Amino acid sequence: MRQITEMNQSSDTKQDSKPELRDIFAEIKERYKGLSKSHKKIAAFVMKNYEKAPDMSAIKVAQHVKVSEATVVRFALSLGYEGYPEFRKALKNEINSKLTTVERINMTLGDEEKEKLMQRSVAAVLKSDINSINGTLESFDYEALRQCVDLIRGAGKVVIIGFRTTSLLTEHLGYYLNLILDDVRVINHGVTDIYEHLIKIGEGDVVIAMSFPRYAQKTYEAVEFLKNRGPKIITISDNEHAPINEFADHKLIAKSNVYSFVDSLVAPLSLINALVVAVGFKNIKETKQTFNELEEIWKEHYIYTGDEFVKDL
């Protein structure tokens, strides 16, 4: 049987240190009383819809708030930005990298909305995940996927790296790649001891590093360490400017979002599933042979419910 080596050690990793200043939401709250009626409507909309506002154009915000597009632009200018695009970019960066879990909860739960939250949450979360998958599909780079598949199939060993919430994705990818490849390893825990495993990675190997907001510092440090050691590095992240992409040979992008205190990784998981299927189809004959062998073993050892009846037939 092919084996997977999971480098699971003790202790969580530290997150990126916070910047000293965080201005946008605090500044909006501070200035709120002095804003014009129209600007107050825009400010309230941004605060209550902080997840989707960074992805909305000025005209979209204007339509929701029922003001003119020019008013939305002037709102951004009043906060000191060169225009609305700059405000959107700053807002998105702050949401992704800076808000703590408690701050996300506080922004989601307005006093008058707590009673309604339970009713709205299911639909809101599911719609948000659907939007993430649609957004991923619309901008997907199929050529990048093809190149990644070729690298993975030809690798000496495949090493999957990701910490914190992203470790769930590393386990999923590692499990399935292990079924169709000879040497797959997962590094998703540990602090100082991960370097004992990283030094064994070099030319001919492929590293798949995953990082989503809030970006784990340990993932960045691991990929930075490996960059000059020779492996090809594939990154999976939420946008082109994610920190680990600085070291990427190839990048795969999957949209992610945060609903209150939950990091949604539905679109990244879908991307991982697509990657596994593509790797399997690259050599379909070998993949089918592997699964035929596994099916016999699973039946022999009653791995799945009902196998005992099939064997007796």
In whole angstroms, give the CA distance from residue 177 to residue 6.
Answer: 13
What are the tens digits of pLDDT across the range 197-253?
Answer: 899 999 999 999 999 988 899 999 999 999 999 999 999 999 898 999 999 999 999
Give the torsion through C-alpha atoms of 113, 95, 27, 68, to 10 deg: -70
Structure token digits, residue 300:
């022999």
What pLDDT shows up at residue 2?
41
The CATH architecture that domain 3-13+141-282 belongs to is 3-Layer(aba) Sandwich (3.40)
Q: Which string of DSSP letters, residue by residue, matches 201-244? A: --TT-EEEEEE-SSPBHHHHHHHHHHGGGS-EEEEEESSTT-GG
Pair type for strands 257-259 and 262-264? antiparallel
Query: Please, which contacts does 247-252 make with residues 24 or more away whose CB atoms are closer than 8 Å?
Result: 247/209, 247/223, 248/209, 250/144, 250/147, 250/148, 250/151, 251/141, 251/144, 252/141, 252/144, 252/145, 252/148
Q: Which among 204, 268, 215 is positioned nearest to 246, based on CA atoms?
A: 215
In whole angstroms, give the CA distance from residue 111 to residue 175.
Answer: 44
Domain with CATH 3.40.50.10490 in the chain: 3-13+141-282
In whole angstroms, give the CA distance from residue 3 to residue 141.
Answer: 31
Residue 133 belongs to what H/E stretch? helix 114-138
What pLDDT shows up at residue 312?
52
What pLDDT shows up at residue 19?
34
Structure token digits, residue 227:
């960059």
Structure token digits, residue 51:
């997840």
Q: Which among 51, 54, 97 is positioned nearest to 242, based on CA atoms?
A: 97
In whole angstroms, give the CA distance from residue 154 to residue 50.
Answer: 43
What pLDDT shows up at residue 176?
92
What pLDDT shows up at residue 130?
92
Instruction: Indicate whether this model's pTM tops 0.75.
Output: no
What pLDDT shows up at residue 4?
43
Q: What is the pLDDT along the chain (313 residues), one digit of tens a residue?
A: 444 444 443 334 334 433 333 468 778 888 888 899 999 999 988 888 877 788 899 999 999 999 999 999 999 999 889 999 999 888 887 776 656 665 665 555 555 555 565 666 777 788 888 988 999 999 999 999 999 999 999 999 999 999 988 999 999 999 999 998 989 999 998 656 788 889 999 999 999 999 998 889 999 999 999 999 999 999 999 989 899 999 999 999 999 876 656 778 999 999 999 999 999 998 888 888 888 877 887 777 677 666 555 555 4
What pLDDT shows up at residue 222?
94
Give CA 128 to chain center in angstroms: 14
What pLDDT shows up at residue 84?
92
Domain with CATH 1.10.10.10 in the chain: 24-138
CATH number assigned to the domain covering 24-138: 1.10.10.10
